[in-house]
Chains A and B, each alone.
Chain A
Amino acid sequence: MSDRQSSNAYWQANLKLIWLCMIIWALVSYGFGIILRPILAGISVGGTDLGFWFAQQGSILVFIALIFFYAWRMNRLDAEHGVDE
């Protein structure tokens, strides 16, 4: 295992990445899908509006992208900080 300094920097970088992903996660589901739907009502998608699309399909697709993005970034972070397996 690397020294404490490096694993601290690693952990801070991980937390920053998690915060970024969590903000997007909340924005597409609770935001676009529910609370902000009235604001997006003007943008029509397939017979309804953008908020409906996010609630029933878009949010799920973004979730998938988020997990793979996180996994990919973490693999790089692991290697940069010398804590990979």
Chain B
Amino acid sequence: MSQFTLNLIVIGASFALYIGIAIWARAGSTAEFYAANRGVSPVMNGMATAADWMSAASFISMAGLIAFTGYDNSTYLMGWTGGYVLLAMLLAPYLRKFGKFTVPEFIGDRFYSGTARIIGVICLLIISITYVIGQMTGVGVTFSRYLEVSSSTGLWIGAALVFVYAVLGGMKGITYTQVAQYIVLIIAYTIPAVFIALQLTGHVLPQTGLFGTLNASDTKFLATLDQVVTDLGFRSYTGHHQSTLDMVLFTMALMIGTAGLPHVIIRFFTVPKVADARKSAGWALVFIALLYTVAPAVGSMSRFNLTATMWPGAETGQTFSQPAVSLEDIQNRDDLHWMRNWQVTGLLNWEDKNGDGLIQYYNEAGAANEQLAAVIAEQGLQGNELTTVNNDIMVLANPEIANLPGWVIAIVAAGGLAAALSTAAGLLLAISGAVSHDLIKGAINPGISEKGELFAARVSMGVSILVATILGLNPPGFAAQTVALAFGLAASSIFPVLMMGIFSTRMNKEGAIAGMLAGVIATLVYIFTYKGWFFISGTNMLPDTADAWLFGISPASFGTIGAVINFAVAYLVSSATKEPPAEVRDLVESIRVPRGAGGAQAH
């Protein structure tokens, strides 16, 4: 059976499963559409949250980010998991007790202000739209690689699928589809990782294999990897090379950004009780950790495999003991057919610059050690000859590099799609909820009937999907800035305002509005200063380099500073203005205790 047929069968079967679930889990009321009628068990919700949270970036890109940077990019691992501790203790249980449907709704009620609610809606829309574009392009790219269609056709197919289960089932349909998608994506991620860990270290668990002994050299795997990459002029894998301050701030921005992402927060509105919201955050992190503790093993091991492919001697840690891989081998050898496959996609490329028939891979920009300098002189190297290595192939090409059977490749394709589709659906629900519940029912037509609102929710879901698809087809400049823009804004606006709303009875509407505006504006101005105004290239006022950054703080880390500004401004302004009314204090007292959370509230 050809690889294409296999891919078609596996992807087709996964799609049939999602549609089947959608038909079974149709939503009949707004409580079902927005919050799955608060009937999702904590373990199920944990699984759905894991799929909701782990996007195309986690699935496809993160291992590659770690592979080529090593220790310094541990920030992603800690940052994208540590936020769940904040959610479990600082936000989720209280927002569940509050018992409404959207994040802006809490902001509006707690700060007794339609203006605060609208600012919340605007932040939510910027965050979620930036985020969803990346998912839609991810769907298109995965389709075009595995099903031989153009990426725009792939995007439309993905959009049609999301349309079916999101419009029909709302939160209820999305929840159970996400559970299925989690299972598909975790299997797809784990199988190749287990095979590779076994091949290199003899460990079944990639988590222990990472710290295990390399079979071929009888020394620790990480020590050998460090040796091999530094031989080739790269920075050591386990070493700390970047600014400590920026690492701390970036990790913090990712953590509080995660906790402030509306599409993640609303998942905790679906469980029956406050106690379930706490427990569910723990389960979510368990399911996330199944991927996040495997990712550093996938990253380091595929980096090692790639290096050992280019320099066969590296397999035993003796990088230069054998000549580099020859051009002839790359073009003919069966076990290297993956290089030819991926060259077609443009994600991998090579060029024999010095015409010696060998492809020498090394870091031409780094400080060459003595041994490397000697090799460069002796072989007359004209520069690094592995000219393109895209981060993403570390996961996507993994099964082929390890020569795994075709069905594994097909499952990886279905897993990539599951990761992108599940996150897209969660984001689209957050967007459509903000439009139908906060804008239409909250501001434009408060008298709308339950049936009317459900219809409005479905229409805004449909329109959101259409807009996301069109933006995915022609990604605007800001789409590449998900980390800086989405996490920066969530960290500097939504997280602080929610936390103050729960932990301070004194915080008033003036303080909350001033704090949000100050946090968001400071963060946006800082990002625009280095990335260009509205990300239009050439309009940046300072170069985007570590030397030009204020105190060495990168634009992506500034969300942490934005959050501090938000807290400080809110405190100062609220101290100078009058206390919130008594009923708001009562509201805060009531969300702090679990008793009385009950089922979905009609309102």
Residues of A with Cβ closer than 8 Å to B? 1-2, 4, 7, 10-11, 14, 18, 21-22, 25, 29-30, 33-35, 37, 45-49, 52-53, 55-57, 59-61, 63-64, 66-68, 70-71, 74-75, 78, 82-85
Q: Do the beta carbons of B71 and A60 come within 8 Å of each other?
A: no
Asked if A47 and B85 make an inter-chain contact with CB atoms under 8 angstroms apart, the answer reads no
| Residue pair B77, A56 in contact (C-beta under 8 Å) | yes
A71–B279 touching, CB < 8 Å:
yes
Stretch at the interface among B116-124, B160-168, B270-278, B531-539: B270-278
Decide yes or no: A78 and B293 within 8 Å by CB, A25-B85, A55-B78, A85-B274 being known contacts. no
Q: For the complex, is B594 an interface residue (Cβ under 8 Å from A)?
A: yes
Among B85, B238, B248, B589, contact of A21 (Cβ-Cβ < 8 Å): B85
Find out whether the CB atom of A45 lies under 8 angstroms from the CB atom of B211: yes
Q: Is the CB of A64 within 8 A of B282?
A: yes
**Chain B neighbourhood of A60, CB < 8 A:** 77-78, 81, 285, 289, 292-293
In the complex, which residue of chain A has the Cβ closest to the Cβ of B220? Answer: A47
Chain B residues with CB under 8 Å of A22's CB are 85, 89
- List, in ascending order, chain A residues with CB within 8 A of B85's CB: 21-22, 25, 63, 66-67
Task: Give the CA-CA distance A52 to B73 in the complex, in Å.
Answer: 11
Please state if A70 and B78 are interface contacts (CB–CB under 8 Å): no
Residue pair B78, A33 in contact (C-beta under 8 Å): yes
User: C-beta contact mask, B292-306 vs A, less than 8 Å → 1, else 0?
Assistant: 110010000000000
Q: A35-B248, A47-B211 are in contact. Are A67 and B82 (CB under 8 A)?
A: no
Chain B residue numbers with a CB within 8 Å of A83 are 593-595
Q: Which of B212, B251, B252 has the most CB of A within 10 A?
A: B251
Given contacts A46-B211, A67-B281, A78-B594, contact A85 B273 (CB under 8 A): yes
B207, CB-defined interface residue at 8 Å: yes
A27 to B250, CA, bound (A): 16
* Given A14-B592, A78-B275; 5 other pairs, CB 8 A cutoff: A10-B593, A47-B222, A60-B293, A63-B81, A66-B85
Do A21 and B289 contact each other (CB < 8 Å), given the known contacts A7-B589, A70-B278?
no
A74 with B275, Cβ < 8 A, contacts A1-B590, A56-B77, A59-B82 known: yes
B98 contacts partner chain A, Cβ-Cβ < 8 Å: no
Q: Does B240 contact A (CB under 8 A)?
A: yes
Question: At the interface, is chain B mostly helix, strand, loop or mixed?
Answer: helix
Q: Is the CB–CB distance between A52 and B71 below 8 Å?
A: yes
Residues of chain B from 87 to 122 with CB closer than 8 A to chain A in the complex? 88-90, 93
A71, closest chain B residue (CB): B278
Q: Which residues of A contact B212 (CB under 8 A)?
A: 46
Complex Cα–Cα for A83 and B84 (A): 24
Q: Is the CB of B251 within 8 A of A34?
A: yes
- Assembly CA distance A29 to B289 (angstroms): 15
What is the 8 Å Cβ interface bit string for chain B, positions 206-240, against chain A (1 contact, 0 not)? 01001110000001111110100000000000101
Per the bound structure, the CA–CA distance linking A57 and B222 in Å amounts to: 14
Q: Check A64–B278 contact: CB distance below 8 A.
A: no
Chain B residues close to A by CB (< 8 Å)? 66, 71, 74, 77-78, 81-82, 84-85, 88-90, 93, 207, 210-212, 219-224, 226, 238, 240, 244, 247-248, 251-252, 273-275, 278-279, 281-282, 285-286, 289, 292-293, 296, 589-590, 592-597
What are 25 A-B interface contacts by the 8 Å CB criterion?
A7-B592, A22-B85, A25-B82, A34-B247, A35-B244, A47-B221, A47-B224, A49-B238, A55-B71, A57-B296, A59-B77, A60-B81, A60-B292, A61-B293, A63-B81, A63-B82, A64-B285, A67-B282, A67-B285, A70-B88, A71-B281, A74-B93, A83-B593, A83-B594, A85-B596
Contacts of B207 in A (CB 8 A): 57
A22 to B71, CA, bound (A): 24
| Residues from chain B with Cβ under 8 Å of A1 in the complex | 590, 593, 595-596
- Residues on B with beta carbons closer than 8 Å to the beta carbon of A78: 275, 594-595
Give the distance to chain B from A66, nearest Cβ to Cβ, in Å: 6
Contacts of B90 in A (CB 8 A): 18
Across the two chains, which residue of chain B brings its CB closest to A65? B282
Q: Considering residues A37, A59, A64, which has the most beta carbons from chain B within 10 angstroms of its beta carbon? A: A64
The list of the 5 closest CB pairs from A to B, nearest first, reads A46-B211, A47-B220, A47-B222, A55-B74, A67-B282
Chain A residues in 8 Å Cβ range of B211: 45-48, 53
Provide the residues of chain A in CB contact with B84, threshold 8 Å. Answer: 63, 67
What CA separation (Å) do A60 and B597 show in the bound complex? Answer: 30
A59 to B75, CA, bound (A): 11
A66→B285 CA distance, assembly (Å): 11
A52 to B238, CA, bound (A): 7
In the complex, chain B residues whose CB is within 8 Å of the CB of A47: 211, 219-224, 226, 238
Q: Are A48 and B282 in contact (CB under 8 A)?
A: no
- B-chain residues with CB within 8 Å of residue A30 when the two chains form the complex: 248, 251-252
Instruction: Please pick, from A49, A55, A84, the residue contacting B594 in the complex, using a CB distance under 8 A.
Output: A84
Q: Is there an interface contact between A48 and B89, defined as CB atoms closer than 8 Å?
A: no
- Nearest-neighbor residue (CB-CB) of A7 within chain B: B593
Q: How far is the CB of A9 from chain B (nearest CB, A)?
A: 11
